[in-house]
Structure 1
Amino acid sequence: MKHNQSIKINDLIDFLKAQKKELTYCVYGAGSSDQATLHTDCVIDEYSEITDDDEEIFPERITQKNLDFWFTDELLEDVVFNALKQKTSATNEEILKAIKFYNENDSFITL
């Protein structure tokens, strides 16, 4: 994976399941992450920068494409690890459900 890469959610989950961390990143997409499906495209890019005035500056490529912040790599890794620990055969659909649950509730789902 690399920054400024477009990827389907399904492929991102497959990458996360392999647990091969290559870079730090955030996931951005069009609209709300709650509406994402396994076939939804998202963009992998850098973290936003925080100015001295606590203003969040997103990567220019993200603002040009009018994308919204969805997830950090750390959140995704934690949720995928937890889901696979609970159920080693968890499907990508179950993992996406777990990601959405965590993003909304700030706690892990029970699979």
Structure 2
Amino acid sequence: MQFRQAISISELIEMVRNKRDLDETYCVYGTGDSSQADLATSCFLDDYAEITDDDEEIETPFVTERGLWWRDELVQDVIFNAFHQDSQVTDEKILQAIKHYNEFDTFLDL
């Protein structure tokens, strides 16, 4: 798992599916319009935003310079939830679950 290296959402799902990310703490940052994301959409793993005493989030220069949108650690939770509901869940259904969580702040019933 490499920080600041482009991977597809499909590759991210596979990484979580195979539990190759368990020793890492990371946020997922995406490119383009999050509502238009598909399995080929590039994303990056990077550090969490710094939280100031005034609760302001300061993203890393890598994120701000590229105009990436923030997805946070919940992506991993959404993927784990989908696997828990259906061990044979498809990547397309997981992407649907990620978008559902992003819009409604709740897990999708598969």
- What is the TM-score with the length of structure 1 in the denominator? 0.89
Aligned partners of 2:39 and 2:95 also within 8 Å: yes
Q: CA deviation at 1:77?
A: 2.1
Aligned partners of 1:16 and 1:76 also within 8 Å: no
Distance in 2 separating the partners of 1:88 and 1:53: 42
What value does the CA root-mean-square deviation take over the aligned residues? Answer: 1.3
Higher normalized strand content (fraction of residues): 1
- What is the TM-score with the length of structure 2 in the denominator? 0.90
Q: How many residues align?
A: 109
Identity of aligned residues (%): 48
Q: CA deviation at 1:30?
A: 2.4
Q: Which consecutive unaligned segments of at least 5 residues does structure 1 have?
A: none
Distance in 2 separating the partners of 1:50 and 1:15: 27
Q: Which consecutive unaligned segments of at least 5 residues does structure 2 have?
A: none
**3-state SS in 1 of match to 2:6:** strand
Aligned partners of 1:79 and 1:98 also within 8 Å: yes
- The equivalences for 1:56-75 within 5 A come to 56-69=57-70, 71-73=71-73, 75=74
Distance in 1 separating the partners of 2:42 and 2:87: 25
Question: Paired residue for 2:19?
Answer: 19
**3-state SS in 1 of match to 2:45:** strand
**3-state SS in 2 of match to 1:39:** coil
Displacement over 4 Å in runs of 4+: none
Aligned partners of 1:4 and 1:43 also within 8 Å: yes
Aligned partners of 2:28 and 2:75 also within 8 Å: no
